[in-house]
Structure 1
């Protein structure tokens, strides 16, 4: 069992004391609200000090948050450490580590592919391999990766390829005899004070690498600060400076590189994206960010639930970046701005929906069990029980069994329930209910350690219900709501 150690906090400071205008941070927060960008947690560091931090209630700073592809930057860091320990070289061929899984006669492009090609997303594949890995009947993701066609010469063609990062994890486990998480714990996580990180694994026990890591927002900040400090932490060189320079530099072109072409075309390093303004970042789906600003000596850590990642970055460049001066400013010169920012940061929140407090339909459906028609979620039965200002939603599905969500009447209430289909454990959920109409019950469930928010509307029609389910963010275009009919059992 992992032991929890007392972690010294990063030092705190007023923004002006580190050369940042409080008004710039306030303007950033206003933009986030006006653009409905759904940030969950935010932390800004300058000169090694936390100058602004906030969580949009009911999200809280101490909860770990799912990082998605921001995990890739941590995986690359493990490779940098392994290279420094001479467990591997970036020129090592990928097939050399897996003689049993590799094809008997690998094509020339596959035979040329080395670790640096995995790191720079220059494997030569023309399609992300991850779908094939996930669908492999044997759960042998390494073998599935190595049998995919490699149409381009490695190192000449950029393709964002989560399967490539998985292979870095598999190679690391092969040479070290430890999982990625086990390897990084004494070398990175423990020295930085990152407690009990969680990382998903493939069916064969290899950490997924390209996604699946969960840590707190301050943990992300510490990781970014390590890179900003060229690998030095508390006077110790945890990570070679040469590695950081390589990882954060453009290793392969991924677009035209023009300043006005956005932040996905400025070049790609070793599992880090180059940005405009000579900035680089690790990022993950739905707005998980570790933004490292060497010229400003600043780090920004963000977790969120949005598909508008470029808009979040635009807000940073347009509002926070100009607010960073080269000189420290006396905080006493800006007391009103500092007070306003402090008030803003302490009052960030998502209000639970509140339309109609009560409905006559509440008594009519209270505690009744509805049997659902066949559906993609394998949801078999649903019932809602009302007790004063609390509702209990009971779901019975084939993959997850029976689980219960507790909801507050127009207020958030906590429960633990397995709602995500692929989750190995229960999700932390903050939920509320209101009546959207006289016969439509609306349930809102925030999975507060992930980007996801599920909204369920239950239209009550005498002996039947119509369940409509929507989710706030998806990997592709937002899909239409899912509708499922339910009937009372005679």
Structure 2
């Protein structure tokens, strides 16, 4: 009962908080009043209430930017402006940006570069002519022909098996070629000519390729080509057993810095007027390359969802990670939304975060 009595007061405080713009900081973000940016403040306040009553447990932050200005910045629980959020597989999208930076610098010969050519100093199990034809784009689109599926506990390439390996790079290179049961679609029968299977080992190997191509640790290359140009002063990158940067997950960023990554995608690779990642690469990242599920498509290590709000369909690109972590980019509304959570390995974590976007953030647009 005390909690129920407190909710009206909480809603009033939330509405008051949403009426003002976020604090201006020396990090490159311009800020604006959410109402002037086209949001209904009462609906945004309802989002805070929804989080308070447990509609999206373990939410730590919600940030919204529109037209290049930060208009909402809210923290909950253990969240805060200086917290480095572990957004798990959202890192994969950052890795795709780093591959683009390497291509732009001539370090990788485009998305069609052969994967195994970067590892000529190694030998691998299950030799097959198909492996010689694997391209960087196959890994970017989760459509290589490795027997690798994180959603299948029996898969040879399941990420949990990789984590137990002493050499993750070798683990990936050694993966067998997949077979197809009668009920499975082969690439030629699949939308966009690609048979999708979510494979963290492939994203990890992309990070290893960037390291080999650049001659630098992945964290160092990221700092030079991406983080420093965006004004990101701090991050934490993970490494594999053998010391290779973990391009498949676990990189930690502040919420405002995650929003910068979303804005970079929305603005064609530019941040505050400066081209950071080539626009052609961003265009390829945000072009549908494969069908991931009946309700979701996939670009270059980016998800594409569709949300129906008030009879209007909104397409949203998304960096997505375990726990219900998201950086949403909605081009039609010139909008970026960051949701960080620590609801790791829990049922409905993704559906809850997506509902925050559709039922509150998008619905708040006037």
> Could you state the TM-score of these two structures normalised by the residue count of structure 1?
0.61
Gaps of 5+ in 1: 1-5, 257-264, 326-490
Name the structure 2 match of 1:376.
Answer: none
Whether the 8 Å contact between 1:43 and 1:218 is mirrored in structure 2 is yes
Structure 1 position 99, deviation (Å): 1.9
Is residue 283 from structure 1 mapped to residue 320 from structure 2 by the alignment? yes
Native 8 Å contact 2:125 2:176 kept in 1: no
Deviation per CA, 1:5-59: give whole Å up to 9, x if none: x943512221111111111211222222332422111111111121111111443
Q: Which one has the largest radius of gyration? A: 1
Q: Which residue of 2 aligns with 1:304?
A: 341
What's the counterpart of residue 169 of structure 1?
Answer: 207
Asked if 1:133 is matched to 2:153, the reply is no
| Contact preservation (8 Å) 2:126, 2:174 | no
Write the deviation string for residues 257-311 of structure 1: whole angstroms up to 9, x where unpaired: xxxxxxxx32111110001021110011002111011111111112112232112
Equivalent positions of 1:423-434 (< 5 A) are: none
Which of 60, 68, 89 does residue 40 from structure 1 map onto? Answer: 60
Which has the larger helix fraction? Answer: 2
Q: Choose from 56, 69, 78 the match for 1:49.
A: 69
What is the DSSP-based 3-state SS (H/G/I as helix, E as strand, rest coil) of the residue aligned with 1:280?
strand
Task: Give the match for residue 268 of structure 1.
Answer: 298
Query: Is 1:92 the equivalent of 2:116?
Result: no
Q: 1:203 Cα deviation (Å)?
A: 2.3
Question: What is the alpha-carbon distance in structure 1 between the residues aligned to residue 129 and residue 76 of structure 2?
Answer: 51
- Residue 223 of structure 2 corresponds to residue 185 of structure 1: yes
Change (3 A) 1:163 1:7: farther
TM-score (norm 2): 0.80
Instruction: Say which of 143, 153, 158 aligns to 2:170.
Output: 143
Which has the higher relative contact order, 1 or 2, with Cα contacts under 8 A spaced 6 or more apart? Answer: 2
Whether contact under 8 Å (1:124, 1:156) holds in the other structure is no
**C-alpha offsets along residues 395-419 of structure 1, whole Å, 9 cap, x if unaligned?**
xxxxxxxxxxxxxxxxxxxxxxxxx
SS in 1 for 2:337: strand
Q: Please point out which of 98, 104, 107 is paired with 1:78.
A: 98
Which structure 1 residue ranges, 4+ long, deviate > 4 Å from structure 2?
Answer: 152-155
**Cα distance in 1 between the residues matched to 2:106 and 2:234:** 27
Q: May I ask how many residue pairs the two structures share in their alignment?
A: 310
As a proportion of its length, which structure holds more strand? 1
Q: Is the 8 A contact 1:37 1:312 kept in 2?
A: no
Deviations 1:313-349 (A, max 9, x none): 1231122213223xxxxxxxxxxxxxxxxxxxxxxxx
Within-5 A mapping of 1:470-485: none
**Corresponding position: 1:223 with 2:261:** yes
1:116 matched to 2:155 = no
In structure 1, the partner of 2:21 is none
Structure 2: how far apart are the matches of 1:36 and 1:176? 40
Residue 104 of structure 1, CA deviation: 7.3
Q: Deviations over 1:65-90 (max 9, x none)?
A: 11200111111100011111121121
